[in-house]
Amino acid sequence: MPAEDLRDKNMEETKRKKKKKRFSYYGMRAVLVLYFRYFLLWDSDLSTSIYHAFVALCYLTPILGAIIADSWLGKFKTIIYLSIVYAVGQVIMAVSTIHDITDTDRDGSPDNLTLHIALSMLGLFLIALGTGGIKPCVAAFGGDQFQEHQSRQLNTFFSVFYLCINAGSLLSTLITPVLRGARSLSTLPEPPPPHRAPETFSTQQCGIHTQQQCYPLAFGVPAALMVVSLVVFIAGSGMYVKTDPEGNIMWSVCKCIGFAIKNRFRHRSKLYPKREHWMDWADEKYDKLLIAQIKMVLKVLFLYIPLPMFWTLFDQKGSRWTLQATTMSGDFGGFILQPDQMQTVNPILILTLVPIMDRLVFPLIQKCGLNFRYRMTRLKETMLRKQILEPLIVREHPLKRMTVGMLFAAAAFVCAAVVQVEIDKTLPDFPSSSQSQLKVVNMYGGSLGVRFSSGEPLTIHSYEASLSCSSQSSVDYLTFDQQEITVSLTTDPVITNPLRLIRGSRQTLVIPAEPERMYLEEDINSKPKEGKNAVRRAFTLSNGHQSCEFSRKFGFGSSYTFLVPADVFSSECESVKEVEDMEPNSVHMALQIPQYFLMTSGEVLFSVTGLQFSYSQAPKNMKSVLQAGWLCTNAVGNIIVLIVAELGKLPKQWAEYVLFASLLVAVSIIFSIMAYFYTYIDPAEIEAQILKEQHLDTEDEKKEKKKEETLEMQDKEVKQTKI
């Protein structure tokens, strides 16, 4: 097979593996939080924390994978072994979600949750180890398939590689929730019983003996795909270029750095001449080549310091932006888009933007760059004479692209802030943590005067019985600064009752047909999440057995109370009254598209270029290590999100978006200054140069030695002749 074809085939194999692996990873991620929340029955906070801890672990384990690959097993074997670890993890995870394994009483819920938790934690740990460990190796291994002169093809590879990641994640984000059995929200679930805060529902069930969510399928299919991808990858084994590891390189690197620091410290007196670089203090003991390689890696790692800030903004797509979408309307006419599905805009845009950038935008910029270079050639002589041309060429584009990518991400957050301001205009005024809010619902049957201990008397009219939406009523909440209040009703005789309100909460005071039996109900204190609706029933005195059926389309994120009078008969369903507690979301989710567009353009400029840059600037025995370093910037970015979200709680969400945008602009300025002083290198050339020098040195040494030996011989001969 011709070399070109072989390389293309290798590239195809690596990409196919990448696509299935990403399907598998993102597919599982898509249902993980729901599994924690609804299967393991953890609360939202614990579910979110464990989820983020898992994601952070997935971006920290690349270091381990890279060390194993570069120092011990080589990339090919590392990918295979860690893929097995990954697949085993997924199988364990899938098994842990089968409720039937512990459901001895077959009531539809697992009877030994501890076993399920233990299995899923073990599964997740193996998955994090596998997925993280493979990640830097797959990118570097793909890069290894190209020769030095193929830098253009190498760049294309990284773009296609990124395309595959996103194609896989797009498919999985769409398919895995279907496998789990999520259903459309158009079907209304059974409302919760009375005297309970309204809840939101969205699930469908499946199972062998008992009905449950189809988690085993949702986790099992990605596991099966992972096994298929592993088989495909191994099948192509004969076609790959495999570079062997050069011993425990990371240990040598650590020892060398340690020695350089110690040696520098020992020779801190001014009497010792300065050395060009602090790593040169390792010269006495370590190989020139190793020192040069460490210098290359350190230079790039230093440049990475400001980069986590980009990911801090980027990864808020999955948190803040999704929460923002829950307060927007996803009604696209023909279909309803769920807030978390809005995230699929990112991979969709990647699939369109990467080819456009690669084939159109970058070549165009290149063309402008060519013109620029042409004009420079006129200056070439002078510049060469002054020795300033080289650094100028060298400071060319990858880092500039990344800086522009950061600015795009900052612009995306400004867009998010503008959208937030629009949303805020439509959001209800929720109580602060020291306030309580109360709404009165009158089901008494006539108009009522209501007076609270503090405040003006209110007249609340009885609701007319009606089914039609036109008579829908909406009542404003009253805000109280105190918790203990008294309510008086202008009935005959006057009824007075003490009320204890909940701080930071919304409640409804329901006045039934027998007003002395008035009661408080807890309302929801935020917009229904995930774009759902909240519906509840309020009874005066339930006669229980009548059934009134009617259909009604609820707006996105709205909340309603249905008032059912005591004397309702099936023929009089009209007396059921609907109260709108919260208006439907009115700002459309499509308004998020500009921020997604800017963020994804930024991602292409920043992330794809960063991948290429990390590969091209790494010495050949530390390619995976630098890929891992690059992925680490993502892990740190995620940790910053957690810290900032905890510490810097700004009262207004839009202000937080502006704060993040400003921080990223500041960081991108710092990065551009660092990039200006970064000299782009060709590691292979430097390595070859040093090897050549070392070879010459040894040749010279040999010659020198030979000369000395000949001289010694001659001396001996002379002495002997004299004797």
- Contact residues: ligand LHV3P4TQ, CB under 6 A: 26, 162, 165-166, 169, 346-347, 350, 603, 607, 631, 634
Q: How many CA atoms lie within 13 A of 181 on its CB side?
A: 13
Looking at the Cβ atoms of 578 and 603, the one nearer to ligand LHV3P4TQ is 603
Extract the tokens encoding 540. Answer: 């005066």
From 481, 466, 467, select the one nearest 436 (Cα to Cα): 481
Nearest approach, Cβ of 405 to ligand LHV3P4TQ (angstroms)?
A: 12
Q: Using the 8-state DSSP alphabet, how is residue 481 labeled?
A: S
Q: Which long-range contacts (CB under 8 A, 24 or more apart) does 673-680 make?
A: 674/302, 674/303, 674/305, 674/306, 675/303, 675/395, 675/399, 675/400, 675/402, 675/403, 676/395, 678/299, 678/303, 678/395, 678/399, 679/391, 679/394, 679/395, 680/394, 680/395, 680/396, 680/398, 680/617
Residue with tokens 């030994």: 112
Looking at the Cβ atoms of 155 and 634, the one nearer to ligand LHV3P4TQ is 634
Nearest approach, Cβ of 59 to ligand LHV3P4TQ (angstroms)?
A: 7
Looking at the Cβ atoms of 119 and 618, the one nearer to ligand LHV3P4TQ is 618
Looking at the Cβ atoms of 97 and 344, the one nearer to ligand LHV3P4TQ is 344
- Bridge partner list, 537: 562
- Bridge partner list, 442: 511
Nearest approach, Cβ of 426 to ligand LHV3P4TQ (angstroms)?
A: 29
The kind and range of the H/E element at 442 are strand 436-442
- To 5 degrees, how large is the angle CA 525–CA 528–CA 533? 130
Extract the tokens encoding 148. Answer: 């030095």
Residue with tokens 């701080």: 503
Nearest approach, Cβ of 534 to ligand LHV3P4TQ (angstroms)?
A: 30
How far from chain centre, in Å, is Cα 272?
Answer: 50
Looking at the Cβ atoms of 159 and 540, the one nearer to ligand LHV3P4TQ is 159
Nearest approach, Cβ of 630 to ligand LHV3P4TQ (angstroms)?
A: 8
- Bridge partner list, 402: none
From 219, 193, 194, 215, select the one nearest 204 (Cα to Cα): 215
Please, are residues 518 and 486 in contact by the beta-carbon 8 Å criterion? no
Looking at the Cβ atoms of 171 and 501, the one nearer to ligand LHV3P4TQ is 171
Looking at the Cβ atoms of 15 and 532, the one nearer to ligand LHV3P4TQ is 15
Nearest approach, Cβ of 638 to ligand LHV3P4TQ (angstroms)?
A: 10
For the sheet containing 519-522, what is the strand order? Answer: 478-480, 436-442, 506-511, 519-522
Nearest approach, Cβ of 165 to ligand LHV3P4TQ (angstroms)?
A: 5
Nearest approach, Cβ of 61 to ligand LHV3P4TQ (angstroms)?
A: 13
Looking at the Cβ atoms of 290 and 635, the one nearer to ligand LHV3P4TQ is 635
> In the complex, which residue's CB is closest to ligand LHV3P4TQ?
169
Rounded CA separation 498/477 (Å): 18
Nearest approach, Cβ of 163 to ligand LHV3P4TQ (angstroms)?
A: 9
Helix, strand or coil for residue 523?
Answer: coil
Nearest approach, Cβ of 122 to ligand LHV3P4TQ (angstroms)?
A: 24
Looking at the Cβ atoms of 101 and 642, the one nearer to ligand LHV3P4TQ is 642
Cα dihedral 678→682→683→689 (10° resolution)? -120
The CA R_g of the chain, rounded to the nearest whole Å, is 34
Rounded CA separation 719/276 (Å): 48
Rounded CA separation 473/253 (Å): 72
Looking at the Cβ atoms of 343 and 558, the one nearer to ligand LHV3P4TQ is 343
Looking at the Cβ atoms of 165 and 279, the one nearer to ligand LHV3P4TQ is 165
Query: β-strands 506-511, 519-522: how paired?
Result: antiparallel
Nearest approach, Cβ of 303 to ligand LHV3P4TQ (angstroms)?
A: 17
Nearest approach, Cβ of 121 to ligand LHV3P4TQ (angstroms)?
A: 23
Nearest approach, Cβ of 639 to ligand LHV3P4TQ (angstroms)?
A: 14
Please, are residues 296 and 619 in contact by the beta-carbon 8 Å criterion? yes
Rounded CA separation 640/646 (Å): 10
Looking at the Cβ atoms of 181 and 347, the one nearer to ligand LHV3P4TQ is 347
Looking at the Cβ atoms of 358 and 603, the one nearer to ligand LHV3P4TQ is 603
Nearest approach, Cβ of 169 to ligand LHV3P4TQ (angstroms)?
A: 4
Nearest approach, Cβ of 626 to ligand LHV3P4TQ (angstroms)?
A: 13
Rounded CA separation 710/692 (Å): 27
Beta strand spans in 443-582 (E): 448-452, 458-460, 473-474, 478-480, 484-489, 495-500, 506-511, 519-522, 534-539, 559-564, 577-582
Looking at the Cβ atoms of 122 and 639, the one nearer to ligand LHV3P4TQ is 639
Looking at the Cβ atoms of 39 and 630, the one nearer to ligand LHV3P4TQ is 630
Nearest approach, Cβ of 25 to ligand LHV3P4TQ (angstroms)?
A: 8
Rounded to the nearest 5°, which phi and psi values hold at 534? Answer: -120, 130
From 505, 511, 559, 574, select the one nearest 538 (Cα to Cα): 511
Rounded CA separation 425/442 (Å): 29
Looking at the Cβ atoms of 154 and 579, the one nearer to ligand LHV3P4TQ is 154
